[in-house]
Amino acid sequence: MIAATILSAGRSTRMGHPKALLLYRGRTFLQGILDAAEAAGLRRILAVGADANEILRGHDLRGVSVVTNTQMDAGPIGSIRAAIREIIDDPVEAVVVWPVDLPHVSLNTIERLKDAFARTGGPIVVPVYEGLRGHPAIFGRDVFDELLDEGLSDGAKTVVNQSSSRVIEVPVEDPAVVSDLNTPEEYEELLRLEDRRRGEPG
């Protein structure tokens, strides 16, 4: 089994609004990812901050494990650690680390990452678009202990960059994996691109 760890504990200071609650294709970012992870057959773990009532309200959390990032100052690695601790004793082979501001990653991309992990055993699988590594990334159980190490200098990147030989790169035709959605302007650009896509002849 592979679990999806949805990172939704960030403060969204540059966006000025919780990114989990932004709308895309008629759903919040968070609900879109929850639905996509379910469609991909992933166990779903939602990592939130200590004050998450606004984010949790109004979402379908049936079958979703909610964990709290108690290491907010550590950044995303705090959420990853909380999720790993949630499943460390369960038969979970790997976690897909899926930031909440990537609701537009295609299901095909997730399936390709899963297939690459199943084929190679990882332990780390990352999507690559036009030569750039992106997210979501898969971390196998072999590196769980490393991710739990409190001494990481640069969070999960430290684990990824430790040895290139254990990182499986999966080329994808999905620009979403390298997109940044941190400001209102970047969000507006995402919506413009979606409107343009909808307007293209099918």
pLDDT tens track for 130-188: 999 999 999 999 999 999 998 887 889 999 988 888 999 999 999 999 998 999 999 99
**Which domains are present in the chain?**
2-199 (3.90.550.10)
Mean pLDDT (the chain, rounded): 91
Contact in structure between 128 and 134 (CB atoms under 8 Å): yes
pTM for the complete prediction? 0.91
* Confidence band of 202 (pLDDT split at 50, 70, 90): very low
Contact in structure between 9 and 47 (CB atoms under 8 Å): yes
Contact in structure between 16 and 185 (CB atoms under 8 Å): no
Q: Name the percent of the chain lying above pLDDT 70.
A: 98
